[in-house]
Amino acid sequence: MQSLVTQEFAIRFGQRPTFIVRAPGRVNLIGEHTDYNDGFVLPMAIDRAMWIALRPRDDRHVVLHSLDFPEVGGFSLHEISHGRAWDEYLRGMAWGLQEASYTLNGWEGVLGSDIPVGAGLSSSAALEMVTAMAFSAVGGWEFIPDIMAKIGQKAENEWVGANTGIMDQMISASGQVDHALLIDCRDLSTRHIPLPTKATVVILDTTTRHTHTDSGYNERREQCEAAARFFGVSHLRDVALKEFKDRSANLDELIRRRARHIISENERVLKAAQALSKGDAVEMGKLMNESHTSMRDDFEITNAELNIMVQAAQAQPGCFGARMTGGGFGGCAVALVHEDAVGAFVENVHASYAETTGLDPKIYLCKATNGAEVVHRN
């Protein structure tokens, strides 16, 4: 992708780019819907990313060509308005940065991406973070990961209108090669956790789709808020499993199950971080399987295809564990698989899922990469 955006830049602008920046997509290993409950998540940045090759401009305009869309994106920093669909995240990020008092300079360039769109691998958060990195490079100010993540979340919530949490921006901004990232979504403190050396992270795309403006995501948020009110806390993060067991008898049955997912999931994330720190892929896999069951039965964010995919994955020899990942209601599952078994795993899961659903799944073997960075400067 780096060479593709560099080549296209040369064609468009007749020279080499001044900067090349990238920001990755992500897969969440465990900790789903816990971020907006002030809880814990354990995602990793993947080796699929948004790339921009660019050079500064003297005026305060942003002009961006995309390898994927024929329309040229762009806007004036003097007055940012809502625009075409694909550059909306750039506009939102520029708006958010200016709201946060960053002085922005104009630039022009070429955008390329190999993150599948709509699969739940956070192409939008990656676009926000790569945009922030582009502004930081031309403006000469420091890209501070958690501050940029917060501004990205604000762009997503207030500019784009998707009521999402902080996980996707945080991991795209601060991932580290060969590591997952334990994030405390209350204070945004982070810890890099090494991934098991003999295991491969496999993303299994059901090819069924969701959107964040889906009512399901927002409805889950409201149900979590209702449960927090019942326990008299600001967020479910503050309820321990024991307290939940002692006090939840009078809680509405549906809200009770929603809360049980969040509270048990927070515990699983912390146990998962411990397991990975010890290189224990078996324990990690067990926690992933439990997480899926909790999302299927208590939080009810899986669809039939996700359940079929996860079942097919869990049945394979060498699979430590598998679960749906991301917002849910479609999209991807993630599995942790022994490296020696990966070849057969991919073949068998593909065949089994295709046979049961009639759909052609997409399967990606992933490596954990660094978060947003400048990869080249002239």
Residues that bind ligand GLA (CB under 6 A): 32-33, 35-36, 164-165, 167-168, 326-327
Q: Residues 163, 169, 171, CA angle at the centre, nearest 5°? A: 135
Residue 8 or residue 38: which is nearer to ligand GLA going by CB? 38
Amino acid found at 98: Q
- Among residues 202, 237, 229, 235, the alpha carbon closest in space to that of 322 is found at 202
Maximum separation of any 2 CA atoms in the chain, in Å: 69
Nearest distance from residue 221's CB to ligand GLA, in Å? Answer: 9
Distance CA 281, CA 21 (A): 33
Nearest distance from residue 198's CB to ligand GLA, in Å? Answer: 27
Residue 62 or residue 155: which is nearer to ligand GLA going by CB? 155
Residue 369 main-chain phi, psi, to 5 deg: -120, 175
Q: How far is the first Cα of the chain from the last one, in angstroms, to the nearest whole number?
A: 18
Nearest distance from residue 165's CB to ligand GLA, in Å? Answer: 3
Joined tokens for residue 181 = 């990232």
Distance CA 65, CA 67 (A): 7
**Active-site residue flag, 168:** yes
Residue 106 or residue 328: which is nearer to ligand GLA going by CB? 328
Taking CB atoms, the residue at the shortest distance from ligand GLA is 165
Residue 35 or residue 128: which is nearer to ligand GLA going by CB? 35
Nearest distance from residue 185's CB to ligand GLA, in Å? Answer: 9
Residue 33 or residue 179: which is nearer to ligand GLA going by CB? 33
Distance CA 202, CA 377 (A): 33
Residue 326 or residue 371: which is nearer to ligand GLA going by CB? 326
Distance CA 16, CA 168 (A): 31
Distance CA 23, CA 46 (A): 10
Nearest distance from residue 38's CB to ligand GLA, in Å? Answer: 12
Give me the catalytic one of 87, 168, 205, 298. Answer: 168
The single residue listed with the structure tokens 């399901």 is 216
Distance CA 271, CA 282 (A): 12
Catalytic residues: 168
